[in-house]
């Protein structure tokens, strides 16, 4: 197997682009359920439930709703700026920070009905999904058995918080050119429109991985066949309307020669689940911030949603 200490044969020149990068969770007004600071990757968020008890005390349909629409940010520990997990009945029955007379479940329902959660550009909960949460609350939030003993939608720990590794077990050979070269490395420094050396000119490029801390040069997910087929980066406007879809290739790389007019947003979609970037994309050199350890506010690699 190729060593992960891959040395690129070409210099990785960086564009003088905006320094800020963000992969984060949802944002909201002061004191609301979504927003504020949380622990970074690998740290336990305040009031968190161990992730191996995902769904504990919840009916399976409610647990599935949380998994599909919420835990990309509201995992345990939370991701980005999400201040609390939403992985158990205890989490949902806690007093809401913005209105302690209501539970987190009640405020979550209000925000889903208002269309403010999940945050843009995430796909909004469907009417049927909202009805699941509404019906559970109306019934008095009865306990279920989906987590722990029930286990129907038990989640593994968020791969965003995994230890550094090469999950695919394969590496770029350090020499081959083309669209499968240099996974995990910044791309646009060499593939920039300002250069005149015959290389393709990318507006956006990056790599998708199965976990949040993968070595440079490690091949990412195979988006063309096998279990990760169909993974894609979707670019949207500020209202979540799709503008472009960038397929993920056989080593996890994605590219495009043109970008939508700024501001635009991005999310990673896979099998109906999403990992969302709720701030506008600051620049198209995704691996510049989505490094193995994370830079400029990014928690790590662009990681498949659970």
Digit-coded pLDDT (tens) for 172-199: 999 988 999 999 999 998 887 666 667 8
Helix axes 104-114, 127-138, angle to 10 degrees: 150
Task: Report the range of poorest mean pLDDT among 95-104, 147-156, 242-251, 288-297.
Answer: 147-156
Domain extents for the chain?
1-25+158-306, 51-156
Task: Report the range of poorest mean pLDDT among 141-150, 157-166, 289-298.
Answer: 141-150
* pLDDT at residue 14 greater than cutoff 60: no
Looking at residue 299, its pLDDT comes to 87
* pTM across the whole model: 0.67
Rg, the chain, Cα only: 20
Q: Please state, rounded to an integer, the average pLDDT across all residues of the chain.
A: 80
Distance between CA atoms of residues 304 and 148, nearest Å: 24
Distance between CA atoms of residues 301 and 206, nearest Å: 9
**pLDDT tens per residue, range 270-284:** 998 888 887 899 989
100 burial level (CB within 10 Å; 0-12, 13-18, 19+): exposed
Distance between CA atoms of residues 258 and 244, nearest Å: 10
**pLDDT tens per residue, range 83-117:** 889 999 999 999 998 899 999 999 999 999 998 88
Distance between CA atoms of residues 239 and 242, nearest Å: 9
* pLDDT at residue 295 greater than cutoff 70: yes
**pLDDT tens per residue, range 30-65:** 233 433 222 233 222 223 333 445 788 999 999 989
């Amino acid at each position: 197997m190729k060593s992960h200490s891959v040395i690129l044969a070409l210099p990785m020149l960086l564009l003088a682009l905006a320094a800020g990068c963000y992969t984060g969770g949802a944002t909201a007004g002061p004191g609301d359920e979504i927003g504020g600071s949380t622990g970074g990757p690998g740290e336990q968020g305040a009031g968190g439930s161990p992730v191996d008890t995902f769904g504990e005390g919840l009916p399976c349909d409610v647990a599935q709703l949380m998994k599909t629409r919420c835990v990309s940010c509201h995992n345990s520990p939370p991701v980005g700026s999400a201040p609390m997990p939403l992985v158990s009945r205890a989490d949902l029955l806690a007093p809401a920070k913005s209105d302690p007379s209501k539970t987190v479940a009640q405020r979550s329902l209000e925000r889903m009905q208002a269309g403010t959660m999940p945050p843009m550009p995430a796909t909004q909960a469907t009417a049927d999904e909202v009805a699941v949460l509404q019906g559970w609350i109306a019934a008095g939030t009865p306990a279920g058995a989906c987590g722990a003993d029930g286990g129907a939608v038990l989640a593994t720990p968020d791969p965003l918080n995994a230890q550094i590794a090469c999950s695919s077990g394969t590496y770029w050979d350090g020499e081959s050119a083309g669209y499968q070269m240099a996974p995990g490395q910044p791309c646009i420094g060499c593939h920039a429109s300002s250069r005149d050396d015959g290389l393709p000119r990318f507006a956006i490029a990056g790599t998708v991985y199965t976990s949040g801390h993968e070595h440079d040069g490690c091949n990412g997910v195979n988006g063309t066949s096998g279990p990760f087929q169909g993974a894609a980066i979707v670019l949207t406007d500020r209202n979540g309307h799709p503008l472009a879809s960038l397929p993920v290739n056989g080593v996890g790389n994605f590219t495009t020669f043109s970008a939508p007019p700024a501001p635009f947003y991005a999310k990673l979609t896979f099998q109906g689940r999403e990992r969302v970037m709720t701030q506008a994309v600051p620049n198209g050199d995704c691996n510049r911030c989505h490094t193995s350890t994370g830079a400029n506010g990014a928690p790590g690699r662009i990681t498949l949603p659970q």
